Amino acid sequence: MLGSERGVVEEWLSEFKALPDTQITNYAATLHRKKTLVPALYKVIQDSNNELLEPVCHQLFELYRSSEVRLKRFTLQFLPELMWVYLRLTVSRDRQSNGCIEALLLGIYNLEIADKDGNNKVLSFTIPSLSKPSIYHEPSTIGSMALTEGALCQHDLIRVVYSDLHPQRETFTAQNRFEVLSFLMLCYNSAIVYMPASSYQSLCRMGSRVCVSGFPRQQEKHWKELCGRIVLDPEFMVQLLTGVYYAMYNGQWDLGQEVLDDIIYRAQLELFSQPLLVLRE
């Protein structure tokens, strides 16, 4: 890491700590102008032995739990890179270097599963009405719906539970690892339209690495370091695909095509039906 990059990160760390609450909104509005900050933070996250990693993770969490949504999105852009470093370290002998990244991922997860009163959120969605047009159908072939007082009363009230309650997690285990990571990918995908191109690129790189590390295809990649095989979960791969498809059609076509091939490769080896269905294979 260059001295200038280190200086940028250290300045960012000290600047936010000294910031009064009244200036948070202005700070959030101008953070994107720090063009050298994001690349420098990526370098810190990628180096598990960097002494700045712990304070950086702590500050990213402070930004995420602030009431300013733009600060939350600033932290979210690094989520794919944080996941990759975490998963890489879980299969290495250097697991002790994973502590601050684990704490950050768990902290974001625990914030997202509860509302402001501390009650667990229930994720749900509204079933769309077939009487309204969509990209999938024309309502004229279905017939008109009677506009009755009862129908109006029920409008937007029919909701279906999308997810069970997610329990709080204090540590990662082999059993809960991908429950947490899949939920975090869901959070990332819900804000993906606000992510910069660098985050899409990180997402695609992460997808390729977690899918082919430890397999023969890894030898075809021009990566500086090789990694052991990473156990994956089909639900995580589906969430990964959701993000990758968006990145593909928003400026990352070549990287997106590569990671799709790698996801197909892994899903076929594991016989994971869910991601293969999404891929229409």
What pLDDT band is residue 105 in, cutting at 50, 70 and 90? very high
Contact 227, 281 (CB under 8 A): no
Which of 60-69, 133-142, 173-182 bottoms out in mean pLDDT, i.e. has the lowest?
Answer: 133-142
CA gap 185, 162 in Å, rounded: 15
- Mean pLDDT for the chain overall: 86
In this prediction, residue 17 carries a pLDDT of: 85
Residue whose entry in the numeric block shows the structure tokens 């994956």: 232
Contact 263, 205 (CB under 8 A): no
In this prediction, residue 78 carries a pLDDT of: 98
Strand partners, 120: 114
In this prediction, residue 247 carries a pLDDT of: 97
Angle formed by the axes of helices 37-46 and 197-212, nearest 10°: 20
**What are the backbone dihedrals phi and psi of residue 114, each rounded to the nearest 5 degrees, phi first?**
-125, 150
Q: Is the pLDDT of residue 255 over 80?
A: yes
In this prediction, residue 142 carries a pLDDT of: 47
pTM: 0.86
b/e 89-115 (16+ beta carbons within 10 angstroms → b): bbeeeeeeebebbbbbbbbbbbebbee
In this prediction, residue 226 carries a pLDDT of: 80
CA gap 248, 245 in Å, rounded: 5
Q: What is the pLDDT of residues 188-242, one digit of tens each?
A: 999 999 999 999 999 999 999 999 998 999 888 888 778 889 999 999 999 999 9
Terminal-to-terminal C-alpha distance of the chain? 42
In this prediction, residue 3 carries a pLDDT of: 78
User: What single-letter DSSP state applies at residue 166?
Assistant: P
In this prediction, residue 32 carries a pLDDT of: 84
Percent of the chain clearing pLDDT 90 (strictly above): 58
Q: What is the pLDDT of residues 113-147, one digit of tens each?
A: 887 777 777 777 666 666 667 666 676 554 555 55
Q: What is the pLDDT of residues 25-52, one digit of tens each?
A: 999 998 888 889 999 999 999 998 899 9
Q: Is the pLDDT of residue 16 over 90?
A: no
What pLDDT band is residue 1 in, cutting at 50, 70 and 90? low
What pLDDT band is residue 150 in, cutting at 50, 70 and 90? low
Mean pLDDT, residues 69-93: 94
What pLDDT band is residue 148 in, cutting at 50, 70 and 90? low
CB atoms closer than 10 angstroms to residue 222? 4
In this prediction, residue 279 carries a pLDDT of: 86
CB atoms closer than 10 angstroms to residue 11? 13
